[in-house]
Amino acid sequence: MRLKEYLNTEGIRITVFAKRCGVSHATIIGAMKGYEMALSLALKIEEITRGVVTCKDLSPTRKRPPRGQFEKKRDLQIESEKHENGGSCCEDEH
């Protein structure tokens, strides 16, 4: 069973489940989205769910984006908004 289905069926909140696993809620969300995770976490999830969610169910379907990718996107969006609003990204250089 997929982790998301298990949590919904059991009525368990992500934050509560993350606490039981000893990880952040973001890590559990990543697991639900199919990102790679440590084998120790997959085993812990299998144990906590009493085998309903197996390590095989948690096999990654996608790789994690490189660190900093989201920050770069955010910075580019901020710069784009500055230009749209008539501001300059290089105001300090004038």
d(CA 55, CA 69): 28
Instruction: Answer yes or no: pTM beyond 0.85.
Output: no
User: Which domain, by its residues, includes 63?
Assistant: 1-86
Apex 14 CA angle, 52 and 47, nearest 5: 30
List of residues 6+ apart from 43 with CB closer than 8 A = 55
Q: Which of 89, 93, 92 is nearest to 79 (CA)?
A: 89
Tens of pLDDT, residue by residue, the chain (94 residues): 999 999 999 999 999 999 999 999 999 999 999 999 999 999 999 999 999 999 999 998 877 666 665 555 556 666 666 656 565 555 444 4
Residue 78 lies in a domain: yes
Token pair of 80 as six digits: 């784009």
User: How much is the pLDDT for 67?
Assistant: 64
Structural domain total, the chain = 1
> Closest Cα to residue 12, out of 34, 37, 45?
45
- Residue 21 resides in a domain: yes
- What pLDDT does residue 44 have? 97
CATH (domain of 58)? 1.10.260
pLDDT at site 62 = 79
